[in-house]
Amino acid sequence: MNVHTYEKIWLVASLFLIVGFIATVVYGAAGAGIAMVDASGGTVDSTSLSENERFGEPGVERVGDGEYEVTVVARQFMYQPDPIRVPADSRVTFYVTSADVIHGFQVVGTNVNTMVIPGQVAKITVDFDEPAEYGIICNEYCGQGHHDMEGKLVVVPEDEYGGDDA
Amino acid sequence: MATDRELKEIGHDEFDPVGTLTLITVYFLILVGMWVLTYFVEFLGNGPTVVG
């Protein structure tokens, strides 16, 4: 088969591109440690969240050295708790579920983003290295107050963090 | 009035579309540049990120 030189160049370049795309995504997962939101959070009875062991009391809980768990209930048109306060230099696992309809949970300006589905628990772990103040918005249309649905996430300096309820 | 033109036959590898090659190279570089920008700068640089 007689393939023109330019065509050979193009074929090699296309293969390079495909391998490059796959390689960067593999690097993201294996090297940079990017994780996808999966079903590991399990399920919950969305009609009786107040009786649920975890979701009965939404809030921040320290579970280890520099490790925190944040339980968040999204409902029309707010997040509980609000604001969420966590210390810097910590690893925070969010457990998010909805009490009514499908919501979104996005920490604005970051890759921290998940759907919030009634009956499902979205479990996402995030490292917060620096103090910062983030907005949280709902990015799934959830009703007439959707545009007002927002929360706040404050990452305070470690020495200013006064505890779970501060 | 049509004039007779001299026809030149060239071989397979003598066909040399440099302009097309240049254009495709430019497209290719734009594509690679956009991929690097979206993945490494906008996505990976957009921390914090979900890690678990």
List, for residues A90-136, the tens digit of each pLDDT value.
Answer: 999 999 999 999 999 999 999 999 999 999 999 999 999 999 999 99
Contact A149/A72 with Cβ under 8 angstroms? no
- Chain B window 17-46: which residues touch A at a Cβ cutoff of 8 Å? 17, 20-21, 24, 28, 31-32, 35, 39-40, 43-44, 46
Q: Answer yes or no: do A94 and A143 share one domain.
A: yes
Whether the CA torsion A38, A44, A47, A50 is positive or negative: it is: negative
Asked if residue A7 is part of any domain, the answer here is yes
Q: Could you tell me which residues of chain A have a Cβ less than 8 Å from any Cβ in chain B? A: 2, 4-6, 9-10, 13, 17, 20-21, 24, 28, 32-37, 91, 93, 107, 109-114, 124-129
Phi, psi of B43 (to 5 degrees): -85, -60
Q: Answer yes or no: do A49 and A78 share one domain.
A: yes
> Is the CB of A35 less than 8 angstroms away from the CB of B20?
no
B1-36: pLDDT as tens digits: 556 788 888 888 788 889 999 999 999 999 999 999
Residue B46 is nearest to which of A28, A36, A111, comparing CB atoms? A111
Q: Answer yes or no: do A85 and A70 share one domain.
A: yes
What domain range includes position A87?
39-160
Residue A166 has what pLDDT?
45
Structurally, chain A folds into a number of domains equal to 2
Residues A26-51: what's their mean pLDDT?
90
Whether the CA torsion A128, A66, A165, A87 is positive or negative: it is: negative
Which contiguous run of DSSP H or E holds residue B42? none
Q: Answer yes or no: do A47 and A21 share one domain.
A: no
Q: Answer yes or no: do A45 and A93 share one domain.
A: yes
Q: ω into residue A83 within 30 of 0, thus cis? A: yes
Q: Answer yes or no: do A29 and A48 share one domain.
A: no
Tokens describing residue A41: 């959070």
Q: Answer yes or no: do A147 and A113 share one domain.
A: yes
> What is the identity of the amino acid at A138?
C
* A-chain residue closest to B24, CA distance: A10
Tokens describing residue A33: 């440690």
Mind telling me how many Å the CA of A92 is from chain B's nearest CA? 10
Mean pLDDT of all residues belonging to chain A = 92
What is the three-class DSSP state of A98? Answer: strand
